[in-house]
Structure 1
Amino acid sequence: MHKAISVLQYLADCERAVSVKELAYSLNIPSASCYRLVRTLLEHNWVREVPEGGLRIAFGVAHVARSYSEVEALVSELEVPIRRLANDLGMSVKVSLREGHYATTALRAEPARPNAITSPIGYRFHLTIGSAAAVLLAQLSDEEVELILQTAPDEAWKRQAREDVWSRIRDCRVNGVCCDLGLQHPSIFAMSVPLKLSDLLTVALTAVGWKEDFESHKREVITKHLTSVALSLGDL
């Protein structure tokens, strides 16, 4: 995978066609491996051979980039309502999406109060960790979930068991909401709900705060706010 990315980056940076020999030499990839890699990229229309000889980026990469830009556009439409939700709750709010076996923070908003917990945009965490990840796992089949659990890093199991992950998934599937109340970190509490942006994209909408923010009498209010916003923004 790293070699394939390096090939695509090299071709993207060049304003001319590049030979396989140059790719192998410049990227320090064995010639045989480089030829196999290029053949695979050609089959998927990620690179193309040009008449004058050599390789250039092909339309297949543009298709992938366009697909991601569509996701980015959908997420960007959430910015204003997410900021409003953060101020209504007095807690940080984030939107997470699935990328392979990881969840990535795609959008965040902090309330107008000091010491709010924040999650940087682009922050990645394994899908076994936290309530947002459980929402994303809940969209998959049990078989897919089991495969992802097998890829979890050792630190994912330091404060939880597999059953804790499944419990959050079940809560999401049955009740439409799940929590991580200090399980992964004793000071960080979170509640998440699914937000369906399109037929192919469901993200996790999460409120993150301190222990006192999630005292039992406050959880119902948080749930109502999250589910109300998720319903109003669904299928934008």
Structure 2
Amino acid sequence: MTVSQTIPALHKAISIIEYLAERNEAVPVKELSYALQIPPASCYRMVNTLLQHHWISEDPSGGLRIAFGLAHVARTYSEVEARLREFEPRLRALSQNLQMSTKVSLREGHLTTTALRAEPPVPNAITSPIGSRIHLSIGSASAVLLAQMSDPVIRQVLASAPDEAWERQQPDDVWQRIQDCREQGACFELGLYHPSIYACSVPLQLTETAVVALSAVGWPEDFKNRKTIVDQLRAVVLE
């Protein structure tokens, strides 16, 4: 994403939050305006907006601090992180049983991000580093995440896909994976994005509000018995 695709005012609002977090003490608006080089009028409007959403609070003296509203937003992801740590032993056991790499993926905007992974003790396992990202139009994990959205939103996401997403597949292929996930609770990506990489994914209710994708990734020869792969993925989800 280029700088031209971002919102300068939002950058400034975020800088206010970061500044208050680093100071960890009440800070007057004038200091924010001067330190961050934000025009006073704009700074006051940003501060008032953050106050209304309870992301910051105002002391009786007029100083500003981080408030409980921002903590609530952060706590949602903290719960996801905690559940990921709890799930990690099951993911490692699944990788050992399947003798394939396994991973948990979550949605970040229009991207699918690897949040957790495990690899079997074999020399040629396919790796997916934690933090690696790919557009939601690509892969079985993405289809699981797309399946949780409404069709109009899915169409918007697919419209934002980079050209490389369509080099070996068509939108109908993505919709088929979504349909498989919705109807069968699992979907496959059998070499459409990369001819040597196959994957199977199922939905995992990680928290009360977060559905993520649990996947097994391997070589074409690893997918001779697809039913076994789906059964083992589902078994881990139901544990």
Q: Same fold judged by TM-score > 0.5?
A: yes
In structure 1, stretches of 5+ residues that fail to align are none
2:122 matches 1:116: no
Structure 1 counterpart of 2:113, from 100, 104, 108: 104
Tell me, yes or no, if structure 1 residue 227 matches structure 2 residue 234.
yes
Mind listing any 5+ residue stretches in structure 2 that lack a counterpart? 1-9
Letter in 1 for 2:233: L
**How far apart are 1:4 and its partner, in Å?**
2.8
Q: How does 1:69-218 map to 2 (within 5 A)?
A: 69-214=78-223, 217-218=224-225
Alignment partners' CA distance in 2, 1:193 and 1:8? 37
Q: Residues 28, 213 of structure 1: CA spacing in aligned structure 2 closer, same or farther, 3 A cutoff?
A: farther
Deviation at 1:192, TM superposition (A): 0.3
Give the counterpart letter for 1:97 in structure 2.
L
**Residue 2 (1) aligns with residue 17 (2):** no
Q: TM-score if structure 2 supplies the norm length?
A: 0.88
Superposed CA RMSD: 1.8
- The match for 2:50 is 41
Measure how far apart 1:104 and its partner are.
Answer: 1.8
Q: Indicate how the Cα distance of structure 1 residues 67 and 199 shifts in structure 2: closer, same or farther if over 3 A, else same.
A: closer
Structure 1 stretch displaced more, 36-45 or 84-93: 36-45
Report how far residue 221 of structure 1 moved.
1.7
Offset at 1:56?
Answer: 1.1
Q: Counterpart of 2:80 in structure 1: which amino acid?
A: V
Residue 60 of structure 1, CA deviation: 0.6
Code of the aligned partner of 2:27? V
Moved over 4 A (4+): none
Q: Residue 56 in 1 paired to residue 65 in 2?
A: yes
Between the aligned partners of 2:145 and 2:13, the Cα distance in structure 1 is 28
Identity of aligned residues (%): 63
* Secondary structure at the counterpart of residue 77 of structure 1: helix
Number of equivalenced pairs: 230
Q: Aligned AA for 1:226?
A: L
Output the CA distance in 2 between the equivalents of 1:71 and 1:57.
Answer: 22
